[in-house]
Amino acid sequence: MNAFFVYFEEVALSSRAKRQGWHSMYLAQALAYHKGGGVSEQVKVHRPFYSLRSRILYAFNRFNRIDAWTVGALSLVVEPITRLMHGTVRRSAREVLNTARGFGMLWKDVPCILHSSKTLTFKEFGS
């Protein structure tokens, strides 16, 4: 089972590979083009929701409780404030609205996130 709909799947894969004895390598000569937010460009309201949801789930299933709650608090309280300030400074009503909607979705999903983090096991993360 993949615990993440989108975002953080590469972090979970890297972590799982390391636990199984694999090593990551950096190839300086490799070139790649990544259009950031290519698919999610069309659904900007959902981007912060899915990204932060995956971050919080990863933290609760990989970190100790204090660190996981710290990630959760920063993601749910501090980050929306800074993103809303960023949109305000840029005078972008659309950015502020999208940010507010995305974080609203995240706050509504907190009970589900907490339930998921309690029911997921390391085995489901592929360890």
- Could you write out the DSSP letters of every residue in 27-64? -TT------TTTTGGGGTTHHHHHHHHHHHHHHHHHS-
Q: Residue 24 has what pLDDT?
A: 84
| Residue ranges in the chain whose pLDDT is less than 50 | 1-2, 121-127
In a domain, 72, yes or no: yes
Domain residues for 73? 43-127
Q: Residue 126 has what pLDDT?
A: 44
Question: Total domain count for the chain?
Answer: 1
In a domain, 52, yes or no: yes
pLDDT digits (tens, 9 = 90+) for 3-36: 556 777 788 888 888 889 998 888 889 887 766 6
In a domain, 30, yes or no: no
pTM score, whole prediction: 0.72
Distance separating alpha carbons of residues 92 and 10, to the nearest angstrom: 32
